[in-house]
Each structure stands twice: as C-alpha cells, then as structure tokens.
Structure 1
C-alpha cells in the first residue's frame, strides 16, 4: 500500500478557542540541518514508501500488521503503525519540506535526553517521494485520565533545571509555533531575545498581514521598554517546550504526564507559562513547580508579558478575535512602565 493511502488522521494544533477561523498566514520555513550537538536523525533516501522501508529495516520490524488513523487536529496527518516489533507514530504533511519536522525532532530529542517529563522519542525525519515530509516517533499509549498536575509541575521544573544551554537564548534551528515561523537566533541577552525574536517578530507579522500599524507601533514601544520588569532577576537559558497548552499535555497508561508537539528553545523558565490561559495548570501545578524552581522576584508582573507572545501568534493565525487581548496587555504595560 502506498504512502498516499495510509494517512487519514490529524494531529493537534495550538489553538484553544477553535471557533475562530484560520487566518491566511502561509507556512514559511527555513531549510534546517541537524547540528553536531545532537545525535542526527538520519534523512531517508527517496523510495516508493520511505516510512514502510524504515520501519521494516531500522525499526527492526518484520511485518506491519495494521495502519490506523489518529485523530485530533488540523495541520498534519497522523497514523499509528502496529508491527511485530511494537507501534510507531507517524505524522505526514504534503505541503512542507522536512525542515518543520526536523525542528520538532530536535526539540523532542532535547527534552527526551533530560530524562524528566515523558515525551515521544523521535526516530526518523524525511521527504515523501510525491512531495511533503514525514516524521516517525515512539508511539505512546495514552491513559484515560488527565495527568496529575502536581507531577507535571515537578517534572517540568526538573526539565527546566536540567536542560541548559551554553550558547545563550535560542535554539539550534528555527522552528515553528503552530505554523508560524519561530526565530531562534542565539542571543546572549534574554530581554533582547524576547523583545526582538518573540514580540518584535509577531508584531511585524501583524503589520504585514493586517496592516495593523496601531498594535505594531504600541507593541514595539513596549518591546523597547521591558527591561525594568527583569531587574534583580538572574535568568538562565532553560530548555522550554514552548507551546504548553492543554492540547499538548496528556498522560500515559500509568498516569505519568506526557507532553507533545513542542516549539522548543532555550529561554527564561517563566516563558513556559505563556499558554497558561488555556493550559489548566492551577495551584497544585505551580506549587510543585516552584518547589523545584523557586519563584523569582517580579514573577506576577511578568506573567502577562509572556502571554502576549501567544496572543499575538493567535491573532496572526486566527484573526481579530485575539487582537483585543493582545492590545489590552500592551496598553496595560505601557501605562505601568510609563513608556
């Protein structure tokens, strides 16, 4: 059976208010390559079915017994491959080059190597012979109940504490947040990184896509004046999942938390809570997290600054329903900072 006949499921996308219609932002990705800092996930040669070929060779399977769709989202097609050597999870996308999946694989691998919170181990990324690309990873059987939020908080803090970078803030490749390009150029200063590569980039997209000069000008004014919010804070580059909302959090059959679909980079640990408006963390999560990673001075004053990046991204992806939330945060900070 050819690849084109195998994939009929979907994988999740980072919107927690699905009633908004999709915006017209096109998918743009820079061609990425794996760095020597990570064990490479080899690119496959083109064949009639590179997915089947890998599973029956490097995947150590003798037989694929079943292929079934996995439902749940809107960007990629997803399937479960059952074999005599276990199950594999496969995502494909007919409209992107392997760069997007390469970024995801590097992020998953970086989190996997911390041996803290559970993530699916990535195995293979490659191009499809008829266009598009695929990623093969570990299949994790999900449990019926939600993960314990206090356990998630502790394990996430352990990941932040373990996953460090000697290169500063950023990541080894650019990747995507949803389908929006996420720029991860290494930067020694966190405030500069967040102002330019997070807020600044999203504000430019809003101006390009909607001609929104108001949010662009006010947002840039804020981005240039956020440094006082970080006074007295020692910021280390921590490995972040980057897109942690309820749709990317689940549990395995033993009830242990599992996190999926990352947009990884090394950043200020508090930036991990930028999607908290639809993550359902709660007091038990934060209490457990701060037992491992103590709360930093001014945490409450910075919380909405980190929400802003994701509100801007949702504005760019899904339209004006998110503009007012982003604008409100910008105006409140401009007033607070007297900028």
Structure 2
C-alpha cells in the first residue's frame, strides 16, 4: 500500500490507480492488480493506493521476456478516443502531465513538454539559458524530429505507455517468474516515448533491452531520426543543448 498526503498526493494515487488498472486490464500478468484508492476515514488529509501483493525479487528481468510483454502492451492497447492522451491527469513523481486528448503526437508532446518546463522554472527559478534554448526547441527541433512521423502517409499509433519505466519500477514475480511493472503514470503516446527513460546509464535497461524490443516492434520511420527522438524524449539540459546544435538550424 502506498500512503501520501495533501491534495496533490490524492491526485497522484488516483492517477496511479487508473494507470495500473489500464495495464492490468490489458496484460494481467504484467502488473499487480490495483484494488482500491481513497482517503483515510479518520485522517482526512491522508490518501492510499492498495495493490495486490506480489512477491518480487530485486533482479533485472530477462530482456526478451520483458520486451515481449512491453511490446504486447504497446501493440495491443487501443486509445479509447483514437488520440494521444489519457482520460485524467497522471503524475510523474509529483509532477502532473498534460494529458488532454490530441490528434497529433507532435502537438501532444509539445504541450506536455511546455508544462514540464514551466514547472521546472517555477521550482528552480529563471535560467537565462532557457531563453535561448526553449524557443529553438519548440520552433525547430520538435517539428524536425516529430513531424516526419506523421508526414508522407506515415501515422503514429497511440500506444499505452507506462510513462516512467526505469528499472526500479520493474521486478520479477518469485512464484511465476513473470516480469512485472508498477508505479505507472500512463497515457497513450508514441511507443518510443517509453525509451527516453532508458537512455541514461543509471537506468539498467540497456541496449540489450532495446534490441530485444525491436525484435518485436520495428523502429518507427524515418529510422535515421531514431536516436534524436529518444534524446528528445529523455530531454535533460545537456540534451537540449545537443539537440539545438544538431537540429536547430
């Protein structure tokens, strides 16, 4: 059981419950079943999210077994509106995601990123480097990398993504040896969005996991933009500088 406080905590556990319900409904062996969420009857500002208990071992899952399940999640999921987004706000940590439905992946991603950068500046204060990088990022880099996905007859399927899939949000069921994921903040996205989290070295989903995944799901065309897209989906300050240099002219 997860226990949190304040209004933001209430919204977080609600979003996590709905996220895990979406995954578990589609692939019940890939996620513990969410049981309930709510507010303590006797402690009004304390909220909970109750999961099914699964006995897990803290080891990395087999790349192919794990990637097969993740590929099934992405490929078999269907957005209820046919658009990108989710039916409610979900939270990456304590940060809300802009999940309003959008027909275009480029538009959805840009709106979500604008919110993330706004929250970053509110938390850490003004950064003059952002004044230079951010306009180029939105005016040139995002269109350059994401618009081709939806041009010349190409389409992007809205796939259900975990949203915060790093190794600490995964495990192995001791009894069944099934790969498991948890702590999700789902929305319907370009499936490759999932892998921005895998780029930093500290995330132990390394190249062998990406290679295994792409044995089930091909890289989205145009393939030559793949590395740039994943850097965009990861997007740290160093990535912003690098992407502006690579794609900003």
With normalisation by structure 2, the TM-score equals: 0.86
TM-superposed deviation, 1:116: 6.5
Deviation at 1:188, TM superposition (A): 0.9
Shift of 1:114: 1.4
**For residue 222 of structure 1, what is the aligned residue in structure 2?**
137
Native 8 Å contact 2:4 2:10 kept in 1:
no
Q: 1:217 to 1:202 in 2, by over 3 A?
A: farther
| In 2, Cα distance between equivalents of 1:117 and 1:272 | 20
Which residue in the other structure is 1:123 paired with? Answer: 35
Corresponding residue to 2:191 among 264, 269, 287: 269
CA distance in 1 between partners of 2:138 and 2:37 (Å): 36
What's the offset of the Cα at 1:300? 1.8
Q: Does 1:332 align with 2:242?
A: yes
Q: Retained in 2: the 8 A contact 1:147–1:257? A: yes
Whole-Å Cα distance in 2 between the matches of residues 286 and 206 of structure 1? 29
2:25 paired with 1:113: yes
The alpha carbon displacement at 1:144 in A equals: 5.5
Q: What is aligned with 2:76?
A: 162
The aligned counterpart of 1:183 is 98
Distance (Å, rounded) in 1 between the aligned partners of 2:99 and 2:39: 24
Q: Across the two proteins, how many residue pairs are aligned to each other?
A: 232
For the residues of structure 2 that align with 1:214 and 1:116, how far apart are their CA atoms? 45
Cα displacement (A) at 1:138: 0.4
Greater Rg over alpha carbons, structure? 1
3-state SS, counterpart of residue 156 of structure 2: coil
Deviates more, 1:157-166 or 1:91-100: 91-100
Q: For residues 155 and 332 of structure 1, do their structure 2 counterparts lie closer, same or farther at Cα, with a shift above 3 Å needed?
A: same
| Conservation of the 8 A alpha-carbon contact between 2:36 and 2:50 | yes
Residue 6 of structure 2 aligns to a residue whose secondary structure is coil
The question of whether the paired residues in 2 share the 8 Å contact of 1:150 and 1:286 is answered with no
Q: What is the Cα deviation at residue 206 of structure 1? A: 2.6
Alignment pair present for 1:280 and 2:204? yes
Which structure 1 segments of 5+ residues have no match? 1-89, 312-325
Pairing 1:131-280 to 2, within 5 Å after superposition: 131-143=45-57, 145-167=59-81, 168-197=83-112, 199-209=113-123, 210-225=125-140, 226-230=142-146, 231-232=148-149, 233-253=154-174, 254-276=176-198, 277=200, 278-280=202-204
Report if aligned partners of 1:117, 1:152 keep a CA contact under 8 Å in 2.
no
Match of 1:113, SS?
A: helix
8 A contact 1:206–1:216 mirrored in 2: no
CA distance in 2, matches of 1:275, 1:243: 7
CA positional deviation for 1:132:
1.5
RMSD: 1.8
Unaligned runs of 5+ in 2: none
SS of 2:214's partner is helix
**Distance apart, 1:237 and its partner CA:** 0.5
TM-score (norm 1): 0.64
Structure 2 counterpart SS, 1:98: helix
Deviations 1:210-256 (A, max 9, x none): 12242255124202321221315531110000001111011111332
